[in-house]
Chains A and B, each alone.
Chain A
């Protein structure tokens, strides 16, 4: 038996991770809080956005990748803010150059700045281009089982359906669609977007997700570092419950947990 057999790991694009919790790095008060929360979460994969550098800023100011170095974390560049396939592809090509050729990326193409709901037509188009260009694409998508299957068919290395809208904290709105996606997928399925609190993450894992990606749930918690710790436990707990195999739900069972024999006799005289 190999030493690692029995340890439950997550494999994405041929690389193995111990943590099934992936976190974003946005919306924190400052880099100190970002680092503390990411550490408390135990996440090994963190997402970043790609933006124009501020020309003329203080050269001694630390940058995000100095706080979360690529040597320690798997940095997953995203295409947040892109509303069409061309922009998403362009962004990720720049990201690949920025990260010395690392090509594991998160694709998201939004349809609407109010809801941030994904534009699936543009997402599918971008995915095709990116996969052909050699990227390993983890793709943010709607919880449409047909679209998710198509993205896998195109060659995405993971599909990441939303639980609910980005930043909404509404939790899993459609566990049924998620279950269908999970049943059909042969690549990892990670819930991405809409997780609000620890139980949401646990439920995602209990449904059979391979991982959970979140940002706002931690960054906008009252105490982000504490919430990050809660999320780490929630993902682990949900995963163990899934692996343990839950008991069935029944309307009623007439099956108490305590023995039915040996009850005390009546105390009244016969």
Chain B
């Protein structure tokens, strides 16, 4: 069981999962996102190999309307 924070919200997962698997869980696969893990950007190419750890803080961002 790992507890992580995603965009400020606490989440729990049964076991360690990769970033790619997390995005799948969140229905974000195929969507254009950028992801920061504990303050460091995770390049898209590394999504399948980066494994989340207990206590990780993630920010997942997208482009939205703005001036």
Contact with A along B5-27 (1 / 0, CB 8 A): 01111000000000000000011
Q: Does A63 count as interface, using CB distance less than 8 angstroms?
A: yes
Contact with A along B34-59 (1 / 0, CB 8 A): 10100001011000000000000001
Q: Quick one: closest A residue to B62, CB to CB? A: A53
Contact with B along A151-180 (1 / 0, CB 8 A): 000000000000000110000000000000
**A65 surroundings in chain B (CB, below 8 A):** 32, 62-63
**A26 surroundings in chain B (CB, below 8 A):** 64-67
The number of residues on chain B lying at the interface, defined by a beta carbon within 8 Å of a beta carbon of chain A, is 24
Q: Are B33 and A98 in contact (CB under 8 A)?
A: yes
- Given contacts A52-B61, A97-B41, whether A25 and B66 have CB atoms under 8 Å apart is yes
- Given contacts A52-B7, A53-B60, A63-B62, whether A78 and B67 have CB atoms under 8 Å apart is yes
The number of residues on chain A lying at the interface, defined by a beta carbon within 8 Å of a beta carbon of chain B, is 35
Q: Quick one: closest A residue to B66, CB to CB? A: A49
**B62 surroundings in chain A (CB, below 8 A):** 50-53, 63-65, 98
B48 to chain A, nearest CB (A): 16
Q: Are A52 and B63 in contact (CB under 8 A)?
A: no
Q: Quick one: closest A residue to B9, CB to CB? A: A55
Contact of B31 among A27, A49, A59, A97 (CB under 8 A): A59
Docked pose: A169 CA to B59 CA in angstroms: 34
**B36 surroundings in chain A (CB, below 8 A):** 90, 94
Q: Does A80 count as interface, using CB distance less than 8 angstroms?
A: yes
Among B6, B7, B31, B63: residue with most chain A CB under 10 A? B63
**B63 surroundings in chain A (CB, below 8 A):** 48-50, 63-65, 75, 77, 95, 98-99
Q: Does A197 count as interface, using CB distance less than 8 angstroms?
A: no
Docked pose: A216 CA to B66 CA in angstroms: 10
Docked pose: A47 CA to B26 CA in angstroms: 27
**A215 surroundings in chain B (CB, below 8 A):** 66-67
Using a CB–CB cutoff of 8 Å, the interface residues on chain A facing chain B are 24-28, 34, 47-53, 55-56, 59, 63-65, 75, 77-78, 80, 90, 93-95, 97-99, 166-167, 214-216
Using a CB–CB cutoff of 8 Å, the interface residues on chain B facing chain A are 6-9, 26-28, 31-34, 36, 41, 43-44, 59-67
